[in-house]
């Protein structure tokens, strides 16, 4: 087959596409990765073939302007466990409106969509796989009649929120197709499809099926045709090396602190914040080896580094975490999944988006501790770490989560499923 993978110009989102791309390549399929120009070097560094489309979305500039409002709207909100009517219908609609203008429409602008359509018409792929927010891939596939699948790198929070909003509209007699303000995502994508004399369908945002890299205990939005796939860590284009200090087992528990807690602070609703210095204060007398991943600019902000702490500018998590007894991080998808697949108990300091869902579910399955923003202080962090290190149930829960993840089909086992589904959808379309 010829397979086109559409990804946004964001390394963290692209990284989740790489293992499946290589599984397809090693099965003998031709693979191209289409993305806006800033991602080109990351694609080629992963050994894949890049198709630059559109232009630089300038996400840093756009999010600098829109980010404060987006953060204020979502910060501290559990978007899975606290969606109650009637207030949350407006909350969800506003969320869609904010994200469509500042993010979705930037990584899927008209030029990007047009370039993708043109490439599909010229190259004639047999299957389009698009990253969870790269709707341009769905539009191009729909316009050119190509089967398409949505690739998830985390819980399907987008679809969960969408189903909640559409359910509210249905119960209240709101026709979202005729009421643009009721469904900003649909209105925007319908406009893009209309340029090609096509109509919006729910498959434009769901794919004809989805490939889900989360274990069943973390999945959202049931009822979709889902192809499960094991998460395989890929930490990006920076070379993964094993430094001398990682070649021997630690003589005491090793704890990893990721950079999610360094340069920026994690602000709590009541105005407090925990910095890396606060964290170091909390663990200074802990009988453990702390490995803090901080770059040069982040290290310059530190006022002290405890004797039990090793500060490094980079470490591939899939190399470091097998030696760790615990990890402290902000709940990002790649960090969480890499820790989970290695069976490492997690202390998750999550403040928004799907990070909160991951953190809450990690605690519920016994694989870690979720510290909400309102409880972020050195004493709380120390207490949570003591529990992770000294209560055997967390290691047992983390191992059970690892077993669940590794029981899913590996990417190379998923390839035959994709071949079959692509053939079925091509046949159905003729």
Q: In the predicted model, what is the mean pLDDT of residues 274-301?
A: 84
pLDDT in tens, 289-316: 999 998 777 788 888 899 999 999 888 9
Residue position matching structure tokens 């999944």: 337
Q: Which of 24-38, 165-179, 407-421 is least confident? A: 165-179
83 pLDDT tier (thresholds 50, 70, 90): low
pLDDT in tens, 150-192: 999 999 999 999 998 999 899 989 998 888 889 999 999 999 9
Residue 221 has a pLDDT of 85
Does residue 46 register a pLDDT over 50?
Answer: yes
Residue 340 has a pLDDT of 98
Q: In the predicted model, what is the mean pLDDT of residues 111-117?
A: 98
Residue 429 has a pLDDT of 67
Residue 112's alpha-carbon distances to 57, 126, 164, 311, in angstroms, are: 10, 20, 29, 41
Residue 268 has a pLDDT of 40
Q: In the predicted model, what is the mean pLDDT of residues 68-89?
A: 74
- Range of 57-71, 145-159, 251-265 with top mean pLDDT: 145-159
The two most distant CA atoms of the chain are separated, in Å, by 68
CA atoms within 13 A on the CB side of 292: 25
Residue 117's alpha-carbon distances to 110, 122, 209, 428, in angstroms, are: 10, 9, 20, 21
Residue 117 has a pLDDT of 99
Does residue 30 register a pLDDT over 70?
Answer: yes
Residue 320 has a pLDDT of 96
Are 137 and 4 in contact by the 8 Å Cβ rule? The answer is yes
- Provide the percentage of residues in the chain whose pLDDT is more than 70: 94
DSSP state of 251: S
pLDDT in tens, 312-357: 988 899 999 999 999 999 899 999 999 999 999 999 988 888 888 9
Residue 353 has a pLDDT of 85
Residue 90 has a pLDDT of 86
269 pLDDT tier (thresholds 50, 70, 90): very low
Are 366 and 393 in contact by the 8 Å Cβ rule? The answer is yes
CA-CA-CA-CA torsion sign (42, 44, 50, 52): positive
Question: If we measure between CA atoms, which residue out of 225, 191, 194, 196 comes closest to residue 208?
Answer: 225
Q: Which helix (H) or strand (E) holds 210?
A: strand 209-212
Residue 271 has a pLDDT of 37
Domains, the chain: 2-230+409-429 (3.40.50.2000), 244-406 (3.40.50.2000)
CA 170 remoteness from chain centre: 29
Residue 281 has a pLDDT of 86
Angle between helices 135-144 and 110-123 (to 10 degrees): 40
Q: What's phi and psi for 284, nearest 5 deg?
A: -55, -35
């Amino acid at each position: 087959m010829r397979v086109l993978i559409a990804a946004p110009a964001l390394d963290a989102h692209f990284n989740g596409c790489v293992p499946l791309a290589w599984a397809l390549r090693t099965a003998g399929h031709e693979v191209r990765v289409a993305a806006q120009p800033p991602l080109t070097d990351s694609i080629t560094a992963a050994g894949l073939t890049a198709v630059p489309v559109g232009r630089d979305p300038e996400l840093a500039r756009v999010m600098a302007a829109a980010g404060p409002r987006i953060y204020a709207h979502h910060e501290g909100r559990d978007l899975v466990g606290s969606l109650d009517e009637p207030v949350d219908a407006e909350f969800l609609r506003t969320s869609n409106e904010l994200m469509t203008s500042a993010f979705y429409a930037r990584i899927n602008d008209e030029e990007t969509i047009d370039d993708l359509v043109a490439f599909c018409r010229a190259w004639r792929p047999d299957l389009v796989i698009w990253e969870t927010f790269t709707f341009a891939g769905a539009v191009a596939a729909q316009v050119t009649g190509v089967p398409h699948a949505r690739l998830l790198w985390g819980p399907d929070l987008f679809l969960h929120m969408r189903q909640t909003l559409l359910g509210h509209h249905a119960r209240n007699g709101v026709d979202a197709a005729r009421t643009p303000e009721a469904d900003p995502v649909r209105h925007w994508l319908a406009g893009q499809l209309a340029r090609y004399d096509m109509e919006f369908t729910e498959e434009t945002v769901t794919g004809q099926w989805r490939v889900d890299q989360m274990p069943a205990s973390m999945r959202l939005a049931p009822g979709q045709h889902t192809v499960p796939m094991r998460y395989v860590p890929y930490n990006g284009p920076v070379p993964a090396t094993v430094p001398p200090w990682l070649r021997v087992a630690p003589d005491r528990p090793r704890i990893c602190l990721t950079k999610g807690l360094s340069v920026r602070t994690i602000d709590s609703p009541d105005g407090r914040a925990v910095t890396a210095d606060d964290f170091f204060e909390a663990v200074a007398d802990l009988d453990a080896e702390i490995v803090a991943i901080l770059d040069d600019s982040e290290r310059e902000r530190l006022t002290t580094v405890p004797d039990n702490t090793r500060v490094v500018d980079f470490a591939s998590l899939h190399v470091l975490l097998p030696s760790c007894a615990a990890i402290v991080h902000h709940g990002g998808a790649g960090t969480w999944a890499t820790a989970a697949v290695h069976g490492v108990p997690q202390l998750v300091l999550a403040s928004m988006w799907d990070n909160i869902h991951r953190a809450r579910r990690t605690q519920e399955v016994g694989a870690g501790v979720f510290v909400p923003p309102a409880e972020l202080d050195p004493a709380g962090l120390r207490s949570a770490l003591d529990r992770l290190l000294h209560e055997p149930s967390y290691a047992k829960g983390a191992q059970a989560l690892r077993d669940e993840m590794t029981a899913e089909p590996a990417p190379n086992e998923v390839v035959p499923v994709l071949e079959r589904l692509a053939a079925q959808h091509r046949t159905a379309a003729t």
